[in-house]
Chain A
Amino acid sequence: MYIPKKHEPVRIGFYICHCGVNIASMVDVKEVAKYVGTLPNVVVSRDYKYMCSDPGQEMIQQDIIENRLNRVVVAACSPMLHEQTFRKATEKAGINPFFFQMVNIREHDAWVHTDRLEATRKAMALARAAIQRVPLHKPLEVKKVAVHPNVLIVGGGIAGIHAALVLANAGKRVYLVERDPTIGGHMAKFDKTFPTLDCAMCVLSPKMAAVGSHPNITLWTYSEVAKVDGYVGNYKVVVRRKPRYVLEDLCTGCQECVEACVYKEPKFRDEFNLGLGKRKPIRLPFPQAIPPVTLIDPETCIELKSGKCKKTCLEACGDRKAIDFKQQEELREILVGTIIVATGYQIFDAKRTPYYGYGVYPNVYNALEVERLINASGPTNGELVMRNGQVPKKVAVIHCVGSRDENTNRWCSRVCCLYSLKLAHLIHERTNAEIVNFYIDMRTPGKGMEEFYNRLSEEGMMLVRGKVADVYPDPTDGTTGRLIVQAEDTLMSRILKIPVDMVVLSVGLEPHPDSDKIRRLFNMSCSSEGWFLERHPKLAPVSTFTDGIFLAGCCQGPKDIPDSVAQAGAAAAECFSLIDKGHIEQEPNTAFVVEKECSGCKSCIPLCPYTAISLLEDKKKAYINEALCKGCGTCVASCPSGSIVQNLFEDAEVFSEIEGLLAPVPV
């Protein structure tokens, strides 16, 4: 490996890439190469059609050997694409890869300009900046950090469940943390699923049960991640476990306690059934809940509120002694190497589109409520009866509620058209009601979806293309709560006013209200809508900008179950790839505190977005944990006494780069 000797002359090789015509059509590459050839320390300066091709790389390597080059600068595309390629190429020829510098003249120049002369001048300036900085480069070493083999999965919807099983079946230890008292997520609420119309619980409950009993899965429901410290391979996570007042390892799930509760009849809003049914203070969320452990709601339980209950539940539990009114919140600390975030979505609150009358007219339901109403384990045991006790004869299904709208959410929620068709079919099947679907555009992409649409549309449901403007009570009807749906049929160009018994709002999917908090907790980015951001939409769709943290399911954006499961598999594979390799390589562009220069002012410590900086209490000096540092440079810029240095971005390097950039160019 080449180690520069002191005072050894700097010998730079410069290469400018045509990138076919991508760069060459906007930048006069020959002229740039000629100019750079005249700059100090430059020994060779060439242009080539595809620098990243094998011959391109070999050209650099040959020059390094023949011309005794000790620095290499390539002006081509973004370093995101080929920095590694060229670093490897220079390293193969015996030079420390950090003596290589890449200049982006494609994304930052050729692709964003229309004036060839100006673009050429810019390429010259950018190249000169690099030529002035490389002599100051120092050899750096890539460090290896071990990856802890355990995995944390946050969110036990179908995505989290699938990822957990993939990893656990392969022998990895998985911690699955779910906020609700049971896993299952939204899918556990559905009756059947498009496009196959197979029963949701029939496919989901075996997977849920497998999670519950898997020796490699530690399932913590009714729990939340409270704190995440550390870095890829070594995350220290604190999980807060809320008290259920029923001990998980002692409860057998017999539900005798529920039966025995002093409240003879269920009296309180049942969250799992979205308030369409009632429950007791002690309950199991739904029959197939995993874990099959009851829980007590402290807001409604007499004992927990006042300590003055006969505690018939406790009596019924008897020797099992599973009920514990004194249970406290617990904090558990775990160490994991990788994390999958699969926190899903929430449905759009239809009260935000008041013209549809949700929350005002009892016969207006959102789609998830309807899923519960037609579900055999739902509050009506699968019979579609409305709040007024009647079975609807005519039902309107309104698509795109809250979606594709400037005033609410701009995005298409992707699953609503299809689940609207599904619900239309199921409602018709159960009630023989006449169904009218109001859609803006019928969006049915994906395997088997168009066929699903064709099949269902042949069943004779009415499909109206048009946005519903208003839902209001039928003035001719006094008691049943019949409604008029008013819409413009844009295909027939006429205004429709259709009386119906029931309105189903196909609400869109949106990020959880606490997504910003979760984003901060895991150091992820969000799109402007609040969906967690993947590192690259095409090439890194389940990675985040934080290494070792991956995404699965709807928390990354609206999608259906097949896509959620596919993503979950991909995220599990990404974790695997890290665990199996056993270590990660660390980009050495990290920052370090020059201890003798640091005054211990602590200004830098709170600023690090990766909490890499701490104060050495004995020395009263700041210290950067190299494994945590991502080289963002925040602390470097903010240290008021200039006592932090960042590898590859030392002040001297940056200042000579700026000087090079600002120097006049000859054309």
Chain B
Amino acid sequence: MPKPKIGIYWCASCGGCEEAVVDLAEDILGVVEKVDIMFWPCAMDFKKADVEAMPDKSLVATLLNGAIRSSEQEEMAHMLRRKSKYMIAYGSCACTGGIPALANQFPREQILRYVYEESPTTVNEAKTRPQLKFAEAGREVTLPELRNVVRSLDQVVDVDYYIPGCPPTPKITKAAIGALLEGRMPPKGSVLSPDVALCEECSRRDSKPTNVAFTEFKRTHQKHLDPQLCFLAQGVICMGAATRQGCGAQCPSGNMPCTGCFGGTDRVKDQGAKALSSFCANIAAKEADEIDQTLKGIPDPVGTFYRYGLAKSLLRRKAGLPMSNGK
């Protein structure tokens, strides 16, 4: 019997998710035994043309990580969608935009100008910018276009399943691949991690006071963190209550608060807004200026509450930013 074929691809991502697949350690061999990896540009030498040549739907699944920012990523997502029976968004960036989507706070022009002209380590007197086309000595090379905004995978193509995490843990990756191979996939659109918030599996939960009544917020570098006490009891923002579980509470176990990478639960349309409304409602101060004082401890609310989810949030991007091709 021929082994099921799968593809692994990356778009706007840091490479951590590729690492996560490798992190399956010896289990990766087990996976390789059971499937044929037909496409994995990061690790194996297959070409785009090879996949294009395959009949549609000949891959059982593609695990695609990374957000969609460029025309090339868009094109690859569409192509792999055609070739795969299941399109799986792998990791926070593909699921909800991830860290790259924080760029949606700024216009593309501002980003390019900063990166190619203004950043302290850049010397570019000619103000050269990357071109979409460049011809020299009769040869023309092209570069993909950077779209106006960063999108999650499902804002570009139809997605069947989501494996969340920045990066996803080996455990949920293995479970997902196992389910795929055994054909026990849940309903389309499911996020393949338990639909209950992280606090439930966090060992610090019992130490969370019923009334946290925040008087100040501290960031992790501003405080000596207690290794057992709920971070909220220490005045440190932890996104656990607004984040779905599945990671095994690895950040709190490593004495770092949850930053929310698994995204919200299914019931929540906007993880950041939920976290915000919960934290703000629990601030002790009742007067406007005292509240402002407390909130000074959160200098970057978007980066704190929407670290992984800006693209998929209700706001999606800074007001007034244009979309590319109406997208």
Contact = CB atoms under 8 A, between A and B. Distances in A.
B275 interface: yes
B198 interface: yes
A130 B242 CA distance: 30
Given A641-B265, A641-B268, A642-B267, A601 B199 contact: yes
A224 interface: no
Interface residues of B, number: 31
Contact of A642 (B209, B245, B264): B264
B194 to A, nearest CB: 10
A601 B240 contact: yes
Which of A615, A634, A643 gathers the greatest number of chain B CB atoms within 10 Å?
Answer: A643
A643 B265 contact: yes
A640 B274 contact: yes
A641 B205 contact: no
Given A605-B210, A641-B242, A599 B278 contact: no
Contacts of B200: 599-600, 620
A641 B197 contact: yes
A643 B199 CA distance: 13
B195 A603 contact: no
A138 interface: no
A596 B197 CA distance: 11
Given A601-B205, A605-B211, A640 B275 contact: yes
A194 B287 CA distance: 44
B235 to A, nearest CB: 15
A637 to B, nearest CB: 6
Nearest to B198: A599
B20 interface: no
Contacts, number: 83
B205 A638 contact: no
B213 A606 contact: yes
A651 B267 contact: yes
Which of B206, B211, B241, B265 gathers the greatest number of chain A CB atoms within 10 Å?
Answer: B241
Nearest to B195: A597
Which of B198, B206, B267 gathers the greatest number of chain A CB atoms within 10 Å?
Answer: B267
B274 to A, nearest CB: 5
Interface string B40-62: 00000000000000000000000
Interface in B264-318: 264-269, 274-275, 277-278, 281-282
A651 B212 CA distance: 26
Contacts of B196: 596-599, 641
Interface string B241-260: 11011000000000000000
A615 B208 CA distance: 12
Nearest to A596: B196
A461 interface: no
A127 B204 CA distance: 48
Given A597-B195, A600-B200, A639 B278 contact: yes
Nearest to A651: B267
B261 to A, nearest CB: 15
A503 B267 CA distance: 70
B208 A601 contact: yes
Dominant secondary structure of chain A at its interface with chain B? loop
A602 B210 CA distance: 6
Contacts of A596: 196
A607 interface: yes
B282 A603 contact: yes
A641 B274 contact: yes
A606 B265 contact: no
Interface size, A (range): 20 to 34
A641 B213 CA distance: 19
Interface string A440-464: 0000000000000000000000000
A597 B245 CA distance: 11
B210 A615 contact: yes
Contacts of B240: 599, 601
A641 B208 contact: no
A287 B198 CA distance: 67
Given A597-B265, A599-B199, A620-B205, A607 B281 contact: yes
Which of B198, B240, B282 gathers the greatest number of chain A CB atoms within 10 Å?
Answer: B282
Contact of B241 (A599, A651, A655): A599
A601 B241 contact: yes
Contact of A637 (B264, B277, B282): B277
A643 B241 CA distance: 11
A373 B141 CA distance: 104
Contacts of A639: 274, 278
A599 B197 contact: yes
A641 B268 CA distance: 6
B243 to A, nearest CB: 8
Contacts of B212: 603, 606
A188 to B, nearest CB: 37
B241 A641 contact: yes
Which of A603, A606, A641 gathers the greatest number of chain B CB atoms within 10 Å?
Answer: A641
Contacts of A640: 197, 241-242, 268, 274-275, 278
Contacts of A607: 281-282
A283 to B, nearest CB: 41
Interface string B203-238: 001101111110000000000000000000000000
A99 B282 CA distance: 35
A322 B43 CA distance: 93
B216 to A, nearest CB: 17
Contact of B208 (A598, A602, A634, A655): A602
Interface in B69-96: none
A606 B279 CA distance: 12
A651 B270 CA distance: 12
Contacts of B269: 651, 655
B267 A643 contact: yes
Interface in A638-662: 638-643, 651, 655
Nearest to B271: A640
Contact of A600 (B199, B266, B275): B199
Nearest to B260: A640
Contacts of B208: 601-602
Contacts of A641: 196-197, 241-242, 244, 264-265, 267-268, 274
A640 B258 CA distance: 14
A600 B281 CA distance: 17
A642 B212 CA distance: 19
Contact of A606 (B198, B266, B282): B282
Contacts of B199: 599-601
Contacts of A599: 196-200, 205, 240-241, 245
A30 B267 CA distance: 40
A193 B274 CA distance: 59
A138 to B, nearest CB: 17
B197 A638 contact: no
Nearest to A598: B196
Interface in B135-173: none
B248 to A, nearest CB: 14
Interface in A576-627: 596-603, 605-607, 615, 620
Contacts of A605: 210-211
Nearest to B268: A642
Contacts of B265: 597, 641-643
A638 B268 contact: no
Contact of B205 (A597, A600, A642, A655): A600
A651 B275 CA distance: 17
Nearest to B201: A599
B308 to A, nearest CB: 15
A603 B278 contact: yes
Contacts of A600: 199-200, 205
Contacts of A643: 197, 265, 267
A429 B206 CA distance: 73
Contacts of A602: 208-210
5 contacts: A599-B198, A599-B199, A607-B282, A643-B197, A651-B269
Interface of A: 596-603, 605-607, 615, 620, 634, 637-643, 651, 655
Closest 6 CB pairs of A and B: A642-B267, A599-B197, A640-B242, A601-B241, A641-B197, A606-B211
